[in-house]
Amino acid sequence: MSIKKEKYLRLTITYLVIFIMFAVILYPLAWIIGSSFNPGQSLSGSSIIPKNATLAHYRELFDPGRSNYLYWYWNSLKVSILTMVFTVILVSLTGYSFSRYRFAGRRKSLMTFLVLQMVPNYAALIAIFVLAFLTGLLDSHLGLILVYVGGQIPINTWLMKGYLDTIPRELDESAKIDGAGHFRIFLQIVMPLSSPIIAVVALFSFIAPFADFIIASILLRTEKNYTLAVGLYEMVAKQFGAEFTNFAAGAVLIAIPISILFLSFQKYFVSGLTAGGTKG
């Protein structure tokens, strides 16, 4: 086989693999979007291009008299945004401390973070429930935020530390010569140079709570306190209310804030993630 034919064969196989991957990823998304415009409540007759498309399901979701969807959406946004803010602040401080300072127990603490990240969330559900009950944080968004923030710290601290290790320490030393203190160096020198990894941490810590179902379903008890994942599940789990097309419409709207945030941080995402994967 000639070099030219071999090149065309490899190119054809590459495009074929990419096409198959796109089909596998996009078909379910296209189907759920089409289902959200399908009249009726059943998904059995749904198609990507529905006949007699309707916006009735979207209108019903935004009708306070028929659905608590707006409450669920607001709850998810509130929990995710606050989790993102607190996670970025705490992870920036811990990552900076591990990167710039040498103290007793530093290496053991990093290994502890790594081990904690290996424990799946569902393995600690009973402990989380009991702790929330004893502290009076059951059925509260504060308890949910604290759990999410605590779960985000270990792996994101590793990412933040790895990225900060790539920033030359000479910048810190030059700032110290000019009279800058540790906190000023952190805020005015290191953090502006860390915008890529901050964007990555912010994106991860926003998506995880927004899409979580397990922990939210354990801690939340009141319908108006539900997040989107729990609320939409309850919508289709009702004995006489299998509102599957409403569920599809609600699921489509979930993607809006995540897509906006991802597109806003896209230019930082790859560089921040790869730069944060260095060995400390």
**Which pLDDT value is given to residue 87?**
95
Average pLDDT score over residue span 161-175: 86
- Rounded to whole angstroms, the Cα distance separating 116 from 152 reads 11
Of 217, 194, 59, 61, give the one whose Cα is nearest residue 125. Answer: 217
| Confidence (pLDDT) at 94 | 92
**Would you state the pLDDT for residue 270?**
59
Specify the pLDDT at position 57. 82
Least confident among 13-17, 36-40, 215-219, 221-225 = 36-40
Q: Which helix (H) or strand (E) element contains residue 86?
A: helix 69-100
- Listed in sequence order, the residues at least 6 apart from 196 whose beta carbon sits closer than 8 Å to its beta carbon are 163, 268, 269, 271, 272, 275
Tokens 């805020």 locate to 187
- Identify whether the C-beta of residue 30 lies closer than 8 Å to the C-beta of residue 42: no
CATH of 65-275, one of 3.30.2350.10, 1.10.3720.10, 3.40.50.1220, 3.40.30.10: 1.10.3720.10
pLDDT for 122 equals 73
Q: What is the pLDDT of residue 149?
A: 93
Tell me: the pLDDT tens digits for 69-119? 899 999 999 999 999 999 999 999 999 999 888 888 888 888 888 887 777
Backbone angles phi, psi at 38, to 5 degrees: -80, 130
Domain ranges of the chain: 3-59, 65-275
* Residue type present at position 196: P
pLDDT band at 273 (very low <50, low <70, confident <90, very high): very low
* pLDDT beyond 60 at 1: no
Percent of the chain with pLDDT over 70: 90
In this structure, the number of other CB atoms found within 10 A of the CB of residue 109 comes to 15
Distances from the Cα of 240 to the Cαs of 108, 117, 133, in angstroms?
A: 54, 40, 31
Among 21-25, 200-204, 243-247, the minimum mean pLDDT is found in 243-247
pTM for the complete prediction? 0.82
